[in-house]
Chains A and B, each alone.
Chain A
Amino acid sequence: MALINRRGMLQGVTASIGAAVGASLLPGRALAESATRATTSAGKPKRIIFFLQNQGFDPETCVPEGLDAGASLAGVTLPEPISPLEPYKGKINIITGIHGRHTSPSHSAYFGALGGYRGGIGVAPSGETIDHVLSQLLPQTILPHLRIGMDALENMISRPTLATLSASGPGKPLFMHSNPNSLYEMLFGGISTGDVKRRFEARSKVFNRIEELAGQGGRTLPTKERERYDSYVDGFREVNGLRERLAGVSDHLKKFAPEYGDKFLKPEFETDWHDSLLDLGIAALKSGVTNVLTIGSGRGEIFGSWKGLGVVQAGHNLGHVKQPDNPIWIKIRQYNCQMLVKLMDALESMPEGDGTMMDNTLIVYTSNNADKQHTSGANWPFILLGNCSGRIKTGQYTQLDGKRPINALYTTLLHAIDAPRDRFNMDKTTAGMHDPKVGPIEELMA
């Protein structure tokens, strides 16, 4: 779990609550403005969303016909699988020719997809992932990084949390939430009891005591065992801190809570829960609770199910079919794109500075599996949506030469949010083999 220094966290709580009760603040800005680690003003990047569909993203399904090399998207029609983005093509950048050979993406690169290092089933993350890093650098919020994972209904019930994509450091996986009911409770649980202060305080006291007792329990453990045990203590600490901070701003959050009804409580298909999770993600972004959202459709693994779209097949076999012209994959990709549109519309509806939240947002759409299920990772397509406060070129298809790795794209993101680095998760030796250049991918920077 994310390790948040307790003192820093408590300071954050105070600051956040203070900001939230300031009635004059615009809702979207309210919480972000309380940042203690980054200064910010309107027109600067504020949030980044990652959307990873599993089983690969075949370039043939996203590159408009006739566009062999990079070109403007104006005047061309987007391929059917991504057709829902047609009205937004001025705001997107379709990218091919980035590689992830070093991440071992066949089946899934798992943490390596966002970490830019080798991943594999059951392999612990060997470093922090870009979504986590950005969540620490962007204006600080109550819940710096929210992760949601979509899967078959049975799986989301039986394993409501799963860590396969994000990590806060070596051996420190970050869990996705897959049960929208639990996530709702976590984010908006304070609303129903927000005014019952007595109960809230009693609860906080007991849970803080549990945290202390848990901490004591780790004192005499051997080092290796303590590391494992600490993930429990840290998890509890995070939960405690978050509860306090969210409860402190429950009046503010109330305005953004999605309707809590049958889609949550009596899902007919897994897609009801997928939609509910997305709604919660959107609410967290709009309310300013979160600045980084990671969405794992298929939860970074090789399974997944979309019966609600009329896709009868489920699981691993979906990856055994070629995506171009495949009706199943057209449905899944279109569903992804509809979600992207929903995200963009929601953020465009929220004023921020002189514009809208979307103006200061970047959405990164890709797969944790490069281009297809069995792949060397030589061509890993991405779509960037939004221009990140004018930092990223949009309205174009960018074809790169296959020499720069996904790490370079993540370096580009760091540059876009004014936290430049030469490289991301790549030392000189590895770069010698996998990245001929230093710094961001110039072709993408506005």
Chain B
Amino acid sequence: MARTAAIVSSCVLIAAFVDVAHADGQQTFESLARPFLQKHCLDCHGPDSQEGDVSFHKLTGVDTDNVELWKRVWEQVALKEMPPRDEINQPAPIDRLRLSKWITGEIERAMKDKGGFHAHRHPSKGNHLDHDLLFGTVPEGLEPASTPARIWRIQPQEHLTRLNELINREPDFNPERPGLRTRGDFIGPNLEGEVKVYFGLDRLIGWVGGTAAYAAAITGFSPVFSTEAHHGLRNYPMLYSVNGSEATQIAAIAEDVLHFMAYGPDAEPYQFADKVGDIDNKYKHESLRGLSQSLFYSKSPKRPLTPVYELMNEPGVSDDRLRAAVNYLFEALTCRPPSTSESDEYLGVLKEAIDDLGKEEGVMLGLTPIFLDRDALFRTELVEYGTPDKYGRVMLQEQELALAINAAFSYIPPDEALKQAVQQGRMKTRDDVKREVTRILEDDRIRKPRVLQFFREYFDYDRAGTVCKDTNALVSAGGDAKMETHFRAMFGMTANTDRLIELILQEDKNVLQELLTTDRVVFDATKDMRYFAEYVGIDKSLPKPEAEPTDGRKKKGKGLPNSIRATPLPKGQEIHVRIAKVVTPTKTQRVLTTLPAEQRRGILTHPSWLVSHTDAMDNHAILRGRWIRERLLGGAVPDVPITVDAMLPDEPTETLRHRMRVTREDYCWKCHQKMDPLGLPFEMYNHIGLYRTKEHDEPVDTTGEIINSGEPSLDGPVNNALEMIDKLARSERVKQVFVRHAFRYWMGRNETINDAPILQDAWQAYERSGGSMKAMLTSLLTSDAFLYRTRPEETLANAK
């Protein structure tokens, strides 16, 4: 029904579409905004009535003083919050779009010298563009899509993985044992949540002292870059640059990396042996614990032996050796071979440093600049050399194109086949792109951490280990009294969810639906049983549970607390997950098993996702509801007005649902009705993810409602999260919204009306292929939005 309506309204407004799609700067306050305000707003927000203390009749345009007001107007109009839904005289979607575009353009103009205005470009505002406009009839005359020419600061993991490539040799992919960490996979956190690259870890045969001493002795480095720490997509190029402090850190790490590439572990000869037993006991004195001298390494090098090693391993210097080192590093760090002038440039710097400091020090210092080359920190999409088409678009070519394709999947440099394609002039056309994308997608040996990262950002299941828990709240929900144990379980379960997603991606059938409804789980029997159990509460008729030992050690064989009833799961089959091994060999073995249908379904019911959407004390129904609203229904909630004191009453003996009564006040409910009824069905789990049927000794209320979803067949009450998930997983709109998020992630920007045909094609590709992520990605990565860039006139003129 809604779809039909959308198609009708779209057809009527074809002419208007064209106008919105490329009429920047044509409209004025008088020609566009005032008539809109007069027609739809002034009755309630004008001279005679100022509902909510808001009035528009004195507005004459956008300036720095009224930006806040206009921003609210933009969000209210774009999100169909205003005029109120019961108002019969609603603006057409195209008129809403036209006004929204005008307002954001005007705010950008007004804020140009005041720090700019970027909010509308942020991924969290992507849904401000009406879903039905994007998926309705695509009008003729719409200009084809493209993306502005730009640079991407490389992602923290991308940077770390590339540096890791220089010093550690990771195993190749083994199809017999998928799931183990292999070359090209991201550097996962260890069970403490720490992400780090270590020097010489693979060569270590022993050490003095315990694991704490070892952890203190081994050296490594953490990611230098960071991304915004928030829920949702984070991978937009507009959000990041490199600051001076980061550049300084990179320079420092570069010298350590180069030193290791040349010489291996920084250790005395006595620290190397075939086995620890061969090392003299005098070097195993406990006073060495925690020091780098306490580590023992195997005699044979395991690190990659690169031209930097070759240069330092023989006496003297030769131009050939120096150039080989420069070229090797340049390609390893920028993912492309250097031009002759680039190679000459860095060779010159290197030689000068050697002249100044001698070979040993000069090489370390002289090669550092390559780590700070623009293209080692940023990936460019500048189309500097192409000829624009009639729309001013230039297609990415050759090296830039190859790197864009590579970066859609991988963190490490392109494989040989892709490099060959560039060298042989087979990286020019859309067909070339399709050929390479298909090849990469079909080859499991080429690891695709970027694809997994999309699911982390789309689902937000990877934050469970970062949610601080109140100790009492943790224990009373059935958690372990030792906070550390809880966090370790959460990081472990995040890795388990990673693996389940990879498995579903490998099957590549009805991917979204499967993720939302699968009965499968990757399960660690030793740690996860507690979290997949049922919380039954303390039965006062039973004897008191035995107190935990105060030193935090667990009694041998001690089972789950009385408040928990274990959920029996089938034995399942063995599967491996990626947990970074740091201190001791970490167990990577898990089982792939199934969960009882009456308790859980899909990753939204797994503790990794559930706990990611909680706070220290309780569930976060608002956050969960917001997730459903944004990521599945394609809706959005305007920014919280600054006047809102967003706090629930502190009533520990009451249910969250009861405490959330405050959001039902008229002023709050307008927004909260979009979130709360979608989040409260998850009250069937407590705040550490345990299933429950009772709360405070009463049957837990798990009802909720889908309100104004945009797809009327979805709207209506639901009894619990499982029923709601089933309903949503079948929805066409939900799949389209999934495609919208994939578009944003891979294009690095919010969609515009010009992208409508691309989104529809990608969705069709997904639908026709039976829900294949590969088909959808192939469609997106061969689209104009991915392939074409527009450059502003002035830079085209300046470009050499």
Contact = CB atoms under 8 A, between A and B. Distances in A.
Interface of A: 1, 104, 106, 118, 120, 122, 124-127, 157-161, 163, 170-172, 175, 177, 182, 186, 198-199, 201-203, 205-207, 209-210, 213-214, 217-225, 228-229, 231-232, 234-239, 312-317, 320, 374, 376, 427, 429-430
Contacts of B238: 228
B113 A170 contact: yes
A423 B114 CA distance: 17
A238 B248 CA distance: 11
B384 A220 contact: yes
A206 B243 contact: no
Interface residues of B, number: 71
A163 B471 CA distance: 31
A90 B137 CA distance: 75
A409 B482 CA distance: 48
A425 to B, nearest CB: 10
A435 B799 CA distance: 49
A157 B373 contact: no
Given A118-B68, A199-B357, A203-B365, A222 B150 contact: yes
A241 to B, nearest CB: 10
Contacts of B366: 206
B133 interface: no
A124 B242 contact: no
A9 to B, nearest CB: 13
B352 A104 contact: no
Interface stretch (B444-452, B501-509, B564-572, B639-647): B639-647
Contact of A158 (B111, B113, B226, B352): B226
A203 B645 CA distance: 53
Contacts, number: 161
Contact of A235 (B245, B792, B798): B245
Contacts of B223: 158
Contacts of A313: 470
A239 B115 contact: no
B372 A171 contact: no
Contacts of B352: 205-206
A122 B65 CA distance: 20
A202 B792 contact: no
Contacts of A172: 115
B249 interface: yes
A124 B113 CA distance: 12
A171 B643 CA distance: 25
B122 A239 contact: no
B217 to A, nearest CB: 13
Given A124-B115, A170-B114, A235-B243, A320 B226 contact: no
A215 B263 CA distance: 33
Interface in B109-124: 111, 113-116, 118, 122
20 contacts: A1-B244, A159-B226, A198-B357, A202-B362, A206-B352, A206-B366, A206-B369, A209-B349, A213-B345, A214-B374, A217-B374, A217-B375, A218-B374, A221-B382, A223-B792, A225-B150, A228-B151, A236-B372, A314-B468, A374-B647
A239 B795 contact: no
B491 to A, nearest CB: 13
B798 A220 contact: yes
Contacts of B240: 228
B369 A222 contact: no
B148 interface: yes
Q: Which 4 A-B pairs have the closest CB atoms?
A: A235-B244, A217-B374, A170-B115, A202-B356
A158 B226 CA distance: 8
Interface in B185-244: 222-223, 226, 228, 230, 238, 240-244
A414 B252 CA distance: 39
Interface in B230-288: 230, 238, 240-249, 251
Contact of B65 (A228, A234, A429): A429
A111 to B, nearest CB: 9
B369 A225 contact: no
A160 B249 contact: yes
Given A224-B148, A229-B378, A235-B246, 6 more contacts: A160-B249, A206-B365, A209-B369, A222-B149, A231-B241, A231-B242
A145 to B, nearest CB: 13
A150 to B, nearest CB: 16
A251 to B, nearest CB: 23
A199 B365 CA distance: 10
A182 B244 CA distance: 12
Contact of A202 (B149, B353, B470, B471): B353
A206 B247 contact: no
Contacts of A222: 148-150, 382, 791-792, 795
Contacts of A170: 113-116
Nearest to B148: A222
Given A1-B244, A106-B642, A122 B151 contact: no
A175 B242 CA distance: 11
B654 interface: no
Which of B153, B352, B356, B471 gathers most chain A CB within 10 Å?
B356
A213 B373 contact: yes
Contact of A225 (B111, B151, B245, B800): B151
A214 B68 contact: no
B7 interface: no
B794 interface: yes
A84 B249 CA distance: 38
Given A104-B642, A213-B369, A231 B115 contact: no
B243 A161 contact: yes
Contact of B356 (A201, A209, A228): A201
A106 B245 contact: no
B62 interface: no
A221 B795 contact: yes
B82 interface: no
A218 to B, nearest CB: 8
Given A220-B799, A223-B794, A231-B243, A206 B353 contact: yes
A379 to B, nearest CB: 15
A213 B330 CA distance: 14
A320 B470 CA distance: 14
